[in-house]
Amino acid sequence: DADVTQTPRNRITKTGKRIMLECSQTKGHDRMYWYRQDPGLGLQLIYYSFDVKDINKGEISDGYSVSRQAQAKFSLSLESAIPNQTALYFCATSDDWGEQYFGPGTRLTVL
Amino acid sequence: KQEVTQIPAALSVPEGENLVLNCSFTDSAIYNLQWFRQDPGKGLTSLLLIQSSQREQTSGRLNASLDKSSGRSTLYIAASQPGDSATYLCAVEVNYGQNFVFGPGTRLSVLP
């Protein structure tokens, strides 16, 4: 089984809808991250968490919120989706050495 | 602000060639540098992680080097194969555990 899983894998929604993307990990890492990737661009950090009580904004957090329900679970929400949030979203964890492990991604389309 | 660039943006080579991918970063104060492989529409797979105190790491046909003072890293792929076709990204860890900055990637095609 994959170490980092994401659900759903694909989602099409309409402008204004609330969307939640979920991430689970079995690596036992404290650190978890949400990124978005747009075609031709590098990954951009949305939010990161060091543990259940520690949530931090990344470089592009506007329009997004997160919840760290447990060490293994980190969810990303779009409160009111807009078309320019159409992108590929990745969850990742990292160990104490800084090596990152990525989930398979969620392809989100906002119409 | 840390910026990461990768040259070339795309590369096409015949099978069997040795090749070098380049990654440059503007601020030498990094904790580590990581190389990833990404297949189309898929997640990133970690290839090599180089800590800031290290000069290189090797895994199979892959060798990554790091020169912090010049802000450069190279990924050397020996005896390339069609299965190596993918996008290769580098990322630097700027603040411990907090901030990873990614390059835009190099899209590699290895032709049979």
pLDDT in tens, A26-37: 999 999 999 999
First to last CA, chain B: 41
In the predicted structure, residue B97 carries a pLDDT above the cut 70: no
For residue B41, the chain A residues in CB contact (below 8 A) are 88, 105, 107
In the predicted structure, residue A67 carries a pLDDT above the cut 80: yes
Half-sphere exposure (Cβ direction) of B100: Cα atoms closer than 13 Å: 32
The CA distance from B50 to A98, in Å, is 10
Q: What is the mean pLDDT of residues A31-52?
A: 90
Using CB atoms, pick whichever of A45, A102, A107 lies closest to residue B44. A102
Q: Determine which of B31, B34, B44 to mutate to test the interface with A (most A C-beta atoms within 10 Å).
A: B44
Q: Which of residues 77-96 of B touch A (CB under 8 A)?
A: 89, 91, 93, 96
Using CB atoms, pick whichever of B96, B100, B105 lies closest to residue A45. B100
Contacts with B53 (C-beta within 8 Å, 6 or more apart), sequence order? none
Average per-residue pLDDT for chain A: 93
User: In the prediction, which pLDDT does A99 show?
Assistant: 86
For residue B34, the chain A residues in CB contact (below 8 A) are 98-100
Using CB atoms, pick whichever of A33, A42, A101 lies closest to residue B103. A42
